[in-house]
Amino acid sequence: MTRKYLVTVSLLAATAVLGCVMAWLRSVPEPVRQIENISTALPTEETTEMPTPSTEPPTTEPVTEPPATEPPPPPEECLIEDVPFYTQHGLLSTGCELVSAKMVLEYYLKEEIPIEDIVDKMKCQYPQDVNGKATAPHPEDAFIGSPYDPTSFGCFSPALVTMMNQFLPIGSNAVDTSGTSLQTLAETYLPQGTPVLIWATINMTNHHDYLGWYIQDKDGNPTDEWYDWQINEHCLVLIGYDSDYYYFNDPNAWQSQTRFGREIVEERFASMGMYSAVVENVQNQQPVSP
């Protein structure tokens, strides 16, 4: 069999096979023929495009906060004119602290408080002889003696605050502000309409040791701590100031608005221990930290 003959036969066979295939495809229904193309019609999954990283270097500038609002400066002068005034003369011989407290309490409570009620609420104690030693509480803890007795002593702000809080309504309270400078007390509280109880001396005169005692412990026994009472100790109600003077309701005077020079008042106030007290949270007044 020649090579030409074999090629001819092969071509004929291939042609026959191709014809059979084409005939089969024409006989297959249309949906079947399209099944191979279904995948091309399916939705493709969307891909999220990643953001391109910034090539700019991070800022190193500090974040600046808005400037804090400065509180307004205190007024150059101030005077609370409606604080009731009482003189201790003919009322309490040595009770300047209690008469001053009466002025402040009535300023807030808007009613008269009998001085006898104030004395009754005040812890008072005379010095006593215990085992041959004169002993008494510290004046911060009690009134030493009796405010009716001209030979008695007195008390300081912690003891007075305890008494005053027995009269004030819930939400209001007397607080001990001792240790705060007189200028700070004046410029902080007086513009708010808050009078200040302060300790200085009678007529801003000199003071000196008078008599003393051993401080007693909680059981009433004398300790080794000796206390010297300062003669001329005095309590007043600070109600105003200007560039030259401080103004007081002074229970040792006969009328309100007694004034003393600022320098001498600050000196006497400091030398007596910088004792002071105020009443806070009354008539929507907000306390200011000294």
Same domain membership, residue 86 and residue 5: no
Range of the domain at 98: 78-280
Q: What pLDDT is attached to residue 59? A: 58
Same domain membership, residue 14 and residue 138: no
Residue closest to 128 by CA, chosen among 116, 150, 144:
144
> Tokens 């206390």 appear where?
227
Residue 113 belongs to some domain of the structure = yes
CATH of the domain at 200: 3.90.70.10
Burial class (CB in 10 A: 0-12, 13-18, 19+), 124: buried
Residue 60 belongs to some domain of the structure = no
pTM of the prediction?
Answer: 0.74
pLDDT tens digits for range 260-289 = 999 999 999 999 999 999 999 865 444 333
Question: DSSP string of 146-170?
Answer: -TT-TT-----HHHHHHHHTTTSPT
Bridging pattern class, strands 196-201 and 208-216: unpaired
Residue 67 belongs to some domain of the structure = no
Same domain membership, residue 97 and residue 13: no
Same domain membership, residue 237 and residue 149: yes
Q: What pLDDT is attached to residue 212? A: 95
Q: How far apart are CA 131 and CA 124, in angstroms?
A: 21
User: What percent of the chain stands above pLDDT 70?
Assistant: 73
Q: How many domains does the chain have?
A: 2
**pLDDT above 60: residue 11:** no
**101, 175, 246 from 78: Cα distances, Å:** 21, 22, 10
Same domain membership, residue 20 and residue 143: no
Mean pLDDT of 221-230: 94
Same domain membership, residue 12 and residue 101: no
Residue 49 belongs to some domain of the structure = no
Q: Which two tokens stand for residue 215?
A: 């401080």
Same domain membership, residue 19 and residue 136: no
Same domain membership, residue 88 and residue 170: yes
pLDDT tens digits for range 59-94 = 566 666 666 677 788 899 999 999 999 999 999 999
Same domain membership, residue 146 and residue 14: no
Residue 6 belongs to some domain of the structure = yes
Residue 243 belongs to some domain of the structure = yes
Q: How far apart are CA 196 and CA 285, in angstroms?
A: 14
Residue 3 belongs to some domain of the structure = yes
Residue 237 belongs to some domain of the structure = yes
